[in-house]
Amino acid sequence: MKALISGISGQDGSYLAEFLLARNYQVFGLERRVALEDQKYRRRKDVAVIIPCDITNYSSVFAAVQQIMPDEIYHLAAQSDVGYSFKDPFQTLDTNVIGTMNMLEAFRQLVPRARFYFAGTSEIFGSSPPPQNELTPMRPRSPYGVAKLAGFHLVRNYRESYGLFACSGILFNHESPRRGKEFVTRKITSTLAKIVRGEETKIRLGNLDTRRDWGYAGDYVEAMWLMLQQPKPDDYVIATNETHSIKEFLNEAFKQVGLDWEEFVEQDPQFVRPADVQELQGDYSKAERVLGWKPRTKFKDLVKMMVEADTKPVEMPSE
């Protein structure tokens, strides 16, 4: 089996690649020519075939898919920073809408019998009250959410119009030690590590009362794969059915190193979004019923994992 992963350099792409490789897949990854140098998966490029590709350029996507002719396509590549989407909505929509359209069209034209997964997001629910499931009204509150909702509807349209096996995973927030430092959870744990080492004295954050459904990315990639193993394509919420505030995350993180977070955190207006989603909490009962999937990693264990990864001593290379 050949699997194509767009966005293989990111958090989800790296965990998914490892998951598929353990199941004897041939794994191919699409990556921008200029990728972030701190992406952890770059250390394992020898185990997957990496193909340079600009997903906003159809000819680039077409050529990559034609070269691979995959059995499964996992479209994870996106501009996924909600805050940044307010600063550059054009790039966000170009990457997340046009990029998805290009992937779907290459899928339809070249490998219509393959199976396609689209990385959706809980941000499409926006202001709809929790808990949110597959039938919850979608009211996004950011350019990122709007772009991902467009992608979600494109996937559904291609499935219904052309009879393609195309699924969307509506994943709620999922974190890990591989999470980018621009995301609040990793910003907290990475800055906490600097505080412990005496390199920083403060963490500057926005709204501390927003609540999110946080799970572990390593658990969630299994759900992506399970969606493509079903007899029929469908869309699924992947979550933990728990909600925690940023204050709770701070409390758990700082507790790991014996510090009081309130002594080190400052609220900074520059990190407050023009419109924010106050609470997201997913109901994953459909995924449990149909896919047999449920989260394994608890919130406290996830925070501990991230803090330990960022605060552990850096190993110097041996000479």
| Active-site entry in 31, 123, 175, 252 | 123
Q: Is 95 a catalytic residue?
A: no
Q: Does residue 55 sit in helix, strand or coil? A: coil
Contact criterion met (CB below 8 Å) for 284 and 151: no
How much is the CA Rg of the chain, to the nearest whole Å?
19
- Provide the β-strand partners of residue 71: none
- Please give the structure tokens belonging to residue 192: 């906490």
Whether residue 191 lies in the annotated active site = no
Instruction: For residue 92, indicate whether it is catalytic.
Output: no
Catalytic residue among 25, 41, 144, 236: 144
- What are the φ/ψ torsions at residue 73 (nearest 5 degrees)? -120, 125
Name the region of 155 (left: φ>0; alpha: ψ -120 to 50; beta: rest): alpha
Residue with tokens 């709770």: 248
Report the alpha-carbon distance of residue 304 to residue 48 in Å, rounded.
30
Q: What is the spatial distance between Cα 16 and Cα 30, in angstroms, rounded to a whole number?
A: 13
Of 95, 121, 189, 297, catalytic: 121
Total H helices, total E strands in the chain:
11, 13
- State the DSSP code for 126: B
The letter for the amino acid at 171 is L
Six-digit token string for 93? 């929509």
Closest CA to 292 of 218, 215, 227: 227
Give catalytic residue positions.
121, 123, 144
